Amino acid sequence: MTKEKGNYIVTTLEGESYSSEYVILATGSETKELPGIIIDEKDILSSTGILKMQELPKELAIIGGGVIGCEFASIFSAFGVQVTIIEFLPHLIATEEEEISKRLAMQFKKNGVKVITNTGVQEIIKKDKRLELKLNNNTTLTADKVLLSVGRKPVNNLTWKGININEEKGAIVINDFMQTSCDKIYAIGDVTGKMQLAHTASKQGLMAAQHIASRLYPEKYSAPQEPLNYNNIPRCIFTHPEIASVGYTQKDAEEIFGDVRVGKFPFAANGKAVAMGNINGFVKTIARKDTSELVGMHIMGPNAAELIAQGTIMIVNKNKAEDIDSFVFAHPTLSEAIMEAMEDLQSKSIHKI
């Protein structure tokens, strides 16, 4: 990319050039690799390569127990594949509620998924069409295929000529309205190093487009009024059962706000979940003790990714625990579990068991 006469010139690898006053960078991310472990998309796979397999392996080893690793563990174990997850940290999905992490590990165990934590992989050796993984706890295991899912890194391989774009750990630095250090170049999505979620990138794109439009046509469009609050963006994990969260975990809330209130309600006591035959999981709510403002909601169970939108709305609107008293939830619905967890913040949950 170069700059000529106030416009940026973007040239593709095929030699085609495009000129524009404003540019939005959305180059995404790619799978991280570990030293000595190279993805070949035949035996050692990325999250993209594993989707192209024509046959199911008998045994699959997954390096990394984060979101991607756990989602693929759920998928492949459901097809009868023997899955082993190797996670370097003490818990799966370490950024989520520890209680949810433990419950997920228990569910994996019931489904025949082996989980090894506090352990890394030193090397992978190919032997007789099989893969032998040497772990740093002095043990080995074998598998037909390996999925490497230790995170993703920004794809930031553009060549800049006379343009200074600030970066940090490979990610492009942006301000509250997606502008880079060059104010007419914007960046959105995984390349910014923010939350690596499709809906985050979508919202960033809308804000960048609105900000650009307000500069080009100020009489017609206004700039975004508030910066994007990443803490208010829901996080969804499509395991079995589903997991969804928004706001702070209990641990983080206690560190920031001091004492907090915690509400909880199990799907085992929810009529709709019982009727569905899907009672595994719960709703957990977290509120500040001093103001009773809701600051976190965590759901594990049926349709968690759909339900979390209610928590997002309440947190964005700064609803307090007692505000739930003004809401009427339809019966029988899964959303009643949210109502009960909110009522439990006030020790008023009627159906809690």
- DSSP code, position 13: T
Q: Collapsing DSSP states into helix, strand and coil, what is residue 204?
A: helix
Q: What is d(CA 83, CA 255) in angstroms, rounded to the nearest whole number?
A: 36
Q: Catalytic residue at 331? A: yes
* Closest C-alpha among 287, 232, 298 to residue 259: 287
The half-sphere exposure of 166 on its side-chain side, counting CA atoms within 13 A, is: 9
Q: Are 162 and 182 in contact (CB under 8 A)?
A: no
Q: Which residue among the candidates 91, 298, 331, 351 is catalytic per the annotation?
A: 331
Give the bridge partners for 123, in sequence order: 134
For the purposes of burial, counting CB atoms within 10 Å of the CB of 282, is it exposed (0-12), middle (13-18) or buried (19 or more)? buried
Cβ-based neighbours of 81, under 8 Å, separated by 6 or more: 56, 57, 58, 59, 60
The half-sphere exposure of 70 on its side-chain side, counting CA atoms within 13 A, is: 28
* R_g of the chain, CA atoms, integer Å: 23
Residues annotated as catalytic (active site), given as ranges: 331
